[in-house]
Chain A
Amino acid sequence: MAAVQETVDRVRQIDVDQYRYGFETIIESEKAPKGLSEDTVRYISAKKNEPAWMLEWRLEAYRRWLTMEEPKWARVEYPKIDFQDIYYYSAPKPKKTIGSIDEIDPEILETYKKLGIPLREIEALEGVVRPEGERKIAVDAVFDSVSVATTFQKELKQAGVIFMPISEAIREHPELVKQYLGTVVPTSDNFYATLNSAVFSDGSFVYVPPGVRCPMELSTYFRINERNTGQFERTLIIADKGAYVSYLEGCTAPQRDENQLHAAVVELVTLDDAEIKYSTVQNWYPGNSEGKGGIYNFVTKRGDCRGDNSKISWTQVETGSAITWKYPSCILRGDNSRGEFYSIAISNGYQQVDSGTKMIHLGKNTTSRIISKGIAAGKSQNTYRGLVTAHRKATNARNFTACDSLLIGDQCGAHTVPYIEAKNASTLFEHEATTSKISEDVLFYCIQRGLSQEEAVGLVVNGFVKDVLQQLPMEFAVEAQKLISISLEGSVG
């Protein structure tokens, strides 16, 4: 028991120093008045120079939201959120309109540099000698509520790919936005999604035209900086017929004593033969050793395989946030469409994770695959919640689910809550689940070979999550692997 005990003891000592991204950037910002009202919604819409239809859309969502209640079914506990005590809009004070990257506040550029996010395309290319054939990554950086920079615009344009802040897309490509926004996650979908629909300030918009394979990885990097603000980003990605795009999302926030709300909505649409691969490395501030502070991450992510033979794949590495409430899902509408969900969710300290996916089989011969790896350490609670359903017409629907949980120490919890519904006889759903404790003997074996306790835990955990790590684009997998070790650092000192 000794090594596990030690692990547990060290978990207790986990402190904010472990969180590397906890610094704050001092910049002037422009905020909406605190609290939420129709005026707030109008303020945000006006700030974004939105057309009237967009304002109407928001207001409708706002009115709807007033009638809704917070969901209670997740296995998470937190004090009641005062929605009037939040700033719904905060923007780095603009130095006029930003025309080129040089006009971005140097403090913000510095922030992204510290975070290791290359905003300058040139910088991204020089310095390191890149191996032959390594893909470039176009980055959209969202700072508090506003997109501050999108790189590689020109190259993407040549390929016909639209990758821009959604606020810009609303003005420049209203027909596309109107056609797709809210069609996967309707404004009335759930409490947080509805809230997001009313007050979202920015996020990314991607449209890949028919037959185009996006020439590089697209990436959005979200950073909450301002105190007391919520971040409500909205992402909409459309892969038209036969198109392919791989999209990466990363997030961090400064460490603060109070909790901050993050309620994003992500909508993905694939038309016939199209594919979207969406990867997230979520590392919002998780709170300190006493469970104080940290981000409430209440996110609605859903993909619609609208066309036949289309595919949507979610990969997530969740290490941050005080509370994670998140179920990236796939609606398998098109015949032969395929949905995938690969997840690594790590909780430590007092973190609470309730995450999973929904695979809704509507079309014929649709297939889905769920691989979930939950790792709980410290006093955290880690729940996998998943739904797999097959509609009456979804003949030959297939699902394979494997949920594995690993416990480190004996004060944490791992829970698996699968819901399975099959409304036709040709369905084949397979579900496997395991829960195990990190083995004392395995740790000792590693330590006898010279690894520290901490390295041993990192190695074993990275082995445990390997199937999922392999799904990440190379550039991200290495990052994620490091992040996994770092986020467990507190658990073994």
Chain B
Amino acid sequence: MTALLEVKDLQVRVDDREILHGLTMTVNGGEVHAIMGPNGSGKSTLSHVIAGKPGYEVTGGEILFKGEDLLEMEPDERAAKGVFLAFQYPVEIPGVTTMNFLRTAVNAQRKARGEDEYLVPDFLRKVREVAASLNIPMDMLKRGVNVGFSGGEKKRNEVLQMALFQPSLCILDEMDSGLDIDALRVAADGVNALRSPDRAMVVITHYQRLLNYIVPDVVHVMSQGRVVKSGGKELALELEATGYAQYEEVAA
């Protein structure tokens, strides 16, 4: 069976500075991987490169998605094929209602896959259902995308999109930051509901607490642009107790 995501010896530069120095990880369908690591270790960079954000130069290594060369694909093509990134810092798009944005995005993806566009009533039903499960009031969806949303609302909006698009690879970059305890539980439930054998999740977080809700199969420790240790969910607990100091030495 081919892995859903294979990152092999990935080297990435930004503005002539190497940020990822040969990063390797393999994620199979059905698995949840957590990535933990100190600030600036390259977690968001990895997620951006997988999603295809411009401005990063891949100088070595490769990324395979369902066996295909992901780096050859345009970012919108990756999205249509099922790569989803819940951003650490979701942006605001003034004047574009969330509802309109969701519909435009869903239909763009469906079109790219050669599927018919959603009929409006079907789409609305789907959004209502998902929004309700995430405790997102419909009124919020009439507002500009993330405009004036609280930090937690922005994060929930990311999970909403994920649930709507049903991607096969979900990368969640610090979805727990800014969420209060109840919101965290609701969002985590939303993520858990999406767990399935043909879908994988990469959960980037600083806090073990999230992993009580979204229980990972594998935990990776990232430090200075590399995965320096991988283990089971108990690794997260260990980190909580010891911090990253020992790994920084390993990486250095």
Contact = CB atoms under 8 A, between A and B. Distances in A.
Interface of A: 1-3, 6, 439-442, 444-453, 455, 459-460, 462-467
A450 B76 contact: yes
Contacts of A448: 51-53, 75-76, 79, 84-85, 87
B144 A463 contact: yes
Given A450-B76, A463-B94, 10 more contacts: A2-B54, A439-B91, A449-B165, A450-B109, A451-B76, A462-B95, A463-B95, A464-B95, A466-B95, A467-B95
A440 B112 CA distance: 22
A446 B93 contact: yes
20 contacts: A442-B92, A442-B93, A444-B53, A445-B90, A446-B93, A447-B52, A447-B75, A448-B53, A448-B75, A449-B79, A450-B108, A451-B76, A451-B108, A452-B76, A453-B76, A459-B101, A464-B94, A464-B95, A466-B95, A466-B96
Contacts of B75: 444, 447-448
A440 B106 CA distance: 21
A404 to B, nearest CB: 10
Contacts of A467: 95
Contacts of B237: none
Contacts of A449: 79, 101, 105, 108-109, 161, 165
A3 B54 CA distance: 6
Interface of B: 51-55, 75-76, 79-80, 84-85, 87, 90-96, 101, 104-106, 108-109, 112, 144, 161, 165
A450 B80 contact: yes
Nearest to B161: A449
Considering the complex of A and B, which 5 residue pairs feature the smallest CB-CB distances, nearest first?
A: A463-B95, A2-B54, A466-B95, A450-B109, A463-B96
Contacts of A451: 76, 104-105, 108
Nearest to B113: A450
B93 A460 contact: yes
B101 to A, nearest CB: 7
A56 to B, nearest CB: 51
- Of A1, A3, A451, A464, which is in contact with the most chain B CB atoms at under 10 Å from its CB? A451
B95 A441 contact: no
Contacts of B109: 449-450
Contacts of A453: 76
Interface of A is mostly: helix
Contacts of A465: 95
A198 B131 CA distance: 63
Contacts of B161: 449
A402 to B, nearest CB: 13
Nearest to B81: A450
A1 to B, nearest CB: 6
Nearest to A458: B104
Contacts of A450: 76, 79-80, 105-106, 108-109, 112, 165
Given A450-B76, A460-B93, A462-B96, A455 B108 contact: yes
A196 B79 CA distance: 54
A416 to B, nearest CB: 19
Contacts of B144: 463
- Of B52, B91, B112, which is in contact with the most chain A CB atoms at under 10 Å from its CB? B91
A464 B106 CA distance: 21
A444 B54 contact: yes
Nearest to B110: A450
Nearest to B57: A2
Nearest to B95: A463
Contact of A445 (B80, B87, B106, B108): B87
A455 B87 contact: no
Contacts of B55: 1-2, 440
Contacts of B91: 439, 441-442, 445
Contacts of B85: 448
A463 B105 contact: no
- Of A447, A450, A465, A467, which is in contact with the most chain B CB atoms at under 10 Å from its CB? A450
A446 B54 CA distance: 13
Nearest to A453: B76
A445 B112 contact: no
A370 B91 CA distance: 28
A465 B94 CA distance: 10
A440 B161 CA distance: 20
Nearest to B80: A450
A442 B76 CA distance: 14
Contacts of A455: 104, 108
A334 B76 CA distance: 55
Contacts of B52: 447-448
Contacts of A441: 91
A442 B96 CA distance: 12
Contacts of B96: 459-460, 462-463, 466
B79 A459 contact: no
Contacts of B79: 447-450
B53 A446 contact: no
Contacts of B84: 448
Given A448-B51, A450-B79, A450-B112, A463 B104 contact: no
Contacts of B93: 442, 445-446, 459-460, 463
Nearest to B79: A450
A450 B55 CA distance: 19
A452 B105 CA distance: 10
A52 B91 CA distance: 65
Nearest to A455: B108
Contacts of B51: 448
A466 B92 CA distance: 15
B76 A459 contact: no
Contacts of B80: 450
B133 to A, nearest CB: 20
Nearest to B78: A448
Nearest to B90: A445
Contacts of B94: 463-464, 466
